[in-house]
Structure 1
């Protein structure tokens, strides 16, 4: 079936590609190198990784450039559906003696008019202190540092977890080769993933970053938004009777309530 958007995008790509060939004097050997590299990208199963790292953030920025509310950012490749429900306030599922500094992360969820959104579903996942995700690294239990909870009557939530670590995107395949070509490191700043689903409104996929992270300015995935950076506050262990000092972080969120969501990705339409 004819798809006019596909036709328009294809024609636009042809025009831009011709301009690039002329501007940068791309010869047939260069073209063949590109084809071979793209073939390797597909065979390695890295097309989603490459698109997430280099293009998804730009698509989101364009989609939401005139939309009110908390800024979205990339979903990333480490999302897993159907993770355990936890209480609010609660503890993100984790190993006994989970490595890393304890973090209490809290927030308030409201609509763009400032009304609290009770019973908003929040799906949260993150890397551990070593920058590794459950399901994607050996030796980490299923659903470690993954869970689903709901805001209270005031739209508030608090989750006990650990401060996540920085990590590198995979560099042993074609995507890593591309990073070498463009002379860019492979690291992402430490972050928390949040997927919000209000009872009547637009889903929001976003990430939370922390002040002072060395990769905030040059995140390999270009996912950082200034409005999504918050502060890690350190507290004495005696305040909560813990064995070690701990951290707190807080950020408030504004969700869009509307009949037709702006963001519509197949993996999230369940």
Structure 2
């Protein structure tokens, strides 16, 4: 078909009506967004000659994706969440903001309200003793000049040895492997936890179904998520991806970035008060100053609450 039906005046007028432009109620911002979605969807259907079967398969897929609560996972897997980081990096560069620890994706598995500790926290509940390797994680929160930031909140969370997260995995105790640590006068935080495992998408879930059709795997390297915040500094969303992992630079969620690889050192020297082999990981964070208090806050993205 040579005629682009979507571009005719009648169809464009119809899309504007469907998007609410023929009334004075509702949200002007949302109307503009919906109109663009309608126009671009029609263009895709025409340009790629989407069949009726393909269209309704996509509608069914979206129903199944939402039913499984995997929309946030697919957003990461298709690189859209990483693109948002790249976009913010470009905006920062345009206005001369640079330096500090790189940002990277949050992912869909944060839970608000983790216990708060001063300086040090034990993160695991002990149920994986004998199966897990004890990990000692420590470092400093610093400003761009290398000065310690006292009273910063280090909000961290990670998976267990099976690659699952508390709250979403109901077999784990409340807030297992989730803590908030307030840095001491030297900007230090310390945690005792376990070495997390990498993990993959549910092989029977809709995200992996899409990835299979794209010829891609759905695996993530072992990693630790962080929110770092302090008055006077820009909120930082980031994660440490653990060195030595098979998928370190082949993360299906595109979260690994230069400057965010944590070098894990394994020891068996009896220097720590644990039995046998243990791991040490040191990682410092540098925060950019904030221009206003809004920059100190994380986004209002909907998140789980225990």
Q: TM-score if structure 1 supplies the norm length?
A: 0.87
Q: Matches of residues 1-270 of structure 1 in structure 2 within 5 Å?
A: 6=30, 9-10=33-34, 13=37, 17=41, 20-21=44-45, 24-54=48-78, 55-65=80-90, 66=92, 67-68=97-98, 69-96=100-127, 98=129, 99-258=131-290, 259=292, 260-261=294-295, 264-267=299-302
CA 1:13–1:104 in 2, change beyond 3 Å: closer, same or farther? Answer: same
Structure 1: runs of 5 or more not aligned:
none
- Whole-Å Cα distance in 2 between the matches of residues 94 and 237 of structure 1? 24
CA 1:171–1:107 in 2, change beyond 3 Å: closer, same or farther? Answer: same
- Whole-Å Cα distance in 2 between the matches of residues 215 and 16 of structure 1? 35
- Over residues 65-109 of structure 1, what are the superposed CA-to-partner deviations in whole Å (9 max), with x where a residue is unaligned? 334221222222221111112342332242255331111111211
- Whole-Å Cα distance in 1 between the matches of residues 160 and 229 of structure 2? 24
Structure 2: runs of 5 or more not aligned:
1-24
The alignment partner of 1:39 has SS state of helix
CA 1:44–1:89 in 2, change beyond 3 Å: closer, same or farther? Answer: closer
Q: TM-score if structure 2 supplies the norm length?
A: 0.78
Kept in 1: contact 2:76–2:254 (CA 8 A) = no
The alignment partner of 2:239 has SS state of strand
Q: Which moved more, 1:17-26 or 1:52-61?
A: 17-26
- Tell which structure's C-alpha radius of gyration is larger: 2
1:8 Cα shift? 5.5
1:19 Cα shift? 5.7
The alignment partner of 2:112 has SS state of coil
- Over residues 203-257 of structure 1, what are the superposed CA-to-partner deviations in whole Å (9 max), with x where a residue is unaligned? 2121111122111222121111121102111222312242112111112211122
The alignment partner of 1:108 has SS state of strand
- Whole-Å Cα distance in 2 between the matches of residues 267 and 180 of structure 1? 28
The number of equivalent residue pairs is 269
Kept in 2: contact 1:95–1:141 (CA 8 A) = no
